[in-house]
Amino acid sequence: MQPFLDRIAGFEPTPEEAASRRWIYVPYDRLHDEVGPLAQSSPGETVIVMMESRAKGTRRPYHKKKLTLVLSAMRHFALEQGKRGCRVVYGSSPASFADGLLQLQDKWIWKELVVNRPAERELRIELRAAKERGLRVRAVTDTAWLSTSEDFEAVFGAFDLEKNKGGKRQYLMDKFYRSMRSKSGFLMKGGKPIGGKWSYDSENRRAYHGEVPVPQRPTFPPDDITSEVMELIEQRHPEHFGNIAGFDLAVTRKDAETAWAFALENLLPHFGPWEDAMSTEHRDLFHSLTSPLVNLTLLRPRDLVEQVAEAFAAGSIPLASAEGFIRQLIGWREFMRHVHEATDGYRLLEATTDKPTDDYAGAEISYLNAHRKLPAVYWGVPSGMRCMDTVVAGVVDDGWSHHITRLMVLSNLATLCGFSPRELTDWFWFAYVDAYDWVVETNVLGMSTFGDGGLTATKPYVSGAAYINRMSDFCGKCPLDPKKTLGEGSCPFTALYWSFLERNEDKLSHLQRMRMPLNTMRTRNAEQRRELRDRAQQAIDQLERGECVA
């Protein structure tokens, strides 16, 4: 089979076409011809520019499946657009996007390159720098989003550090979500939420015991284009995180739509009740697995939300599941990207400290003063904690795990032990196929580790062993006993939880939702607290030495 770069070269414009057509740069994460400038340009009048950057690929040890997904999806999109009648100039730069685009501009001498305003801060920075170096580029509104910065500011105003001091909070996802529901009209009737409640989260907390069989999802084995990318990744990045074998994600819009149609019909009806459940046998349960596809715009969030609302109206998805899913997309997803942009990826929270000089160095915030190094268990070294070992093994394999395993296993352990939120964020960033700066920094550095001191969450998401035992089947075969708090063979989550509360009492006592756990912690006498601290410290030491917790 002809190599991709030779095939795509066949779609380059003639000099006449180059001079007369409109030039549009399509970034790696906007692979849809019905969003942004591409939606307003007929194929016969368009030249599409796409660019692979090796500097981006090596900036972090990205999961090999993530690099495969992104590059293969880009290459498929480029060929599809060529077949649709667009002309395509496809660059592959050993350096940055900026360098690659400037080089192409020297060759093709376009008058103007139009681009969707990039979703990732990292790409916005690159384009800004390239513009200063002479790149003739103009960013226009990114219509892939469901909301605008104005929508966000209308609810919260511009970011103000002072408004968040002393336990006050400027941002509340719920407030934004309600305004989005009202504005969009999804699941609304007569200006009120259908069913009378904005959220049905309280109905969505069941553990999974096989009540409904988990259906087999469609998979998409590699074609020749994906296989070529996989070879390239293995050759270029052999030391990167994760297994590349078994890659079976959708890399085209058509396959993404097949995956979504299946999820809509077979998974979404059961999504709500088991949204928070964790299972060894069924890693993904009824989650849609749409985030990698939506974040690349192989699927448009608007289409997903509309179709779920229609399915609810037709009676095929219950309200709690439909509302839960729609809240993730028009609420959390949009909210997180606005918080990221408004705070410059949390860099504005560092106002009083030395700012990093490197544009790509992430914000080093840690409200709870957590600075321990992330231990080897996150790289797949066994810890003896079955929940951690099972979830990490899944991430090494798939570059994915669902929300609750991210929040209540991987992040929970890091927050309780005091591992650095920045290091954990960077780990999620390279380990997950759906991670991009705007979504991973807000979810990890902000929400899941409380690194931002409550800008994105009303309390730290932490728990002892009882929660994991109740919501999963991990503990059943674990050598560590979730019902035992102290001594050999006890699950360390519980001792870690109580000593976390003790250690951070001053920093958490102003939070309404932490009053009860803090009061319970205070009922322990000095001796009990010391025992809990010792057990917690022993587990942290073992994890830091790369040993199994015993």
Q: Do β-strands 188-189 and 137-140 pair in parallel, antiparallel, or remain unpaired?
A: unpaired
Chain center to CA of 75: 22
* Span from 64-72, 132-140, 309-317, 436-444 in contact with ligand FAD (CB under 6 A): 436-444
How big is the site for ligand FAD, counted in residues (CB under 6 A)? Answer: 27
How far does CA 267 lie from the centroid of its chain? 20
**Binder among 164, 226, 366, 448 for ligand FAD (CB under 6 A):** 448
Helix (H, G, I), strand (E, B) or coil at 322: helix
Q: Does the protein bind ligand FAD through residue 143 (CB under 6 A)?
A: no
Nearest distance from C-beta of residue 405 to ligand FAD, angstroms? 9
402 belongs to the binding site for ligand FAD (CB under 6 A): yes
In angstroms, give the least distance from the CB of 255 to ligand FAD: 15
434 binds ligand FAD (CB under 6 A): yes
Q: Is 113 helix (H, G, I), strand (E, B) or coil?
A: strand
Question: Torsion angle of alpha carbons 292, 296, 300, 301, nearest 10°?
Answer: 50
Contact status: 247 vs ligand FAD (CB under 6 A)? no
Which region, judged by CB under 6 A, interacts with ligand FAD, from 229-237, 291-299, 360-368, 451-459? 291-299
- Cβ proximity to ligand FAD, 4 vs 428, nearer residue: 428
SS3 37: helix
Q: Cβ(89)–Cβ(47) under 8 Å?
A: yes
| Cβ 294 vs Cβ 301: under 8 Å | yes
- With CB under 6 A as the contact rule, the residue among 164, 295, 321, 420 that binds ligand FAD is 295
Judged by CB under 6 A, which of 233, 336, 465, 478 binds ligand FAD?
336
Q: Count CB-CB contacts under 10 A for residue 158.
A: 10
Residues 98, 49 contacting (CB under 8 angstroms): no
Instruction: Figure out which of the listed residues 127, 229, 329, 374 binds ligand FAD, where binding follows CB under 6 A.
Output: 329
Indicate whether 535 belongs to the interface with ligand FAD (CB under 6 A).
Answer: no
Identify whether the C-beta of residue 32 lies closer than 8 Å to the C-beta of residue 144: yes
* Identity of residue 406: R
Candidates 30, 283, 333, 338; binder of ligand FAD (CB under 6 A) is 333
Q: Which residues of 492-510 are buried (b: 16+ CB within 10 A; e: fewer)?
A: bbbbbbbbbbbbbeebbee
How far is CA 187 from each of CA 52, 65, 102, 374, 402, rounded to the nearest angstrom? Answer: 40, 36, 47, 42, 25
Between 96 and 411, name the residue whose CB sits nearer to ligand FAD: 411
Cβ distance to ligand FAD smaller for residue 312 or 432? 432
Q: Give the footprint of ligand FAD on residues 1-20 (CB under 6 A).
A: none
The one-letter amino acid at 260: W
CB of 439 to ligand FAD, least distance (A): 4
Among 114, 407, 414, 491, contact with ligand FAD (rule: CB under 6 A): 407
Q: Does 297 bind ligand FAD (CB under 6 A)?
A: no
Q: Which residues bind ligand FAD (CB under 6 A)?
A: 287-291, 294-295, 325, 328-329, 332-333, 336, 402-403, 406-407, 411, 428, 432, 434-435, 439-440, 443-444, 448
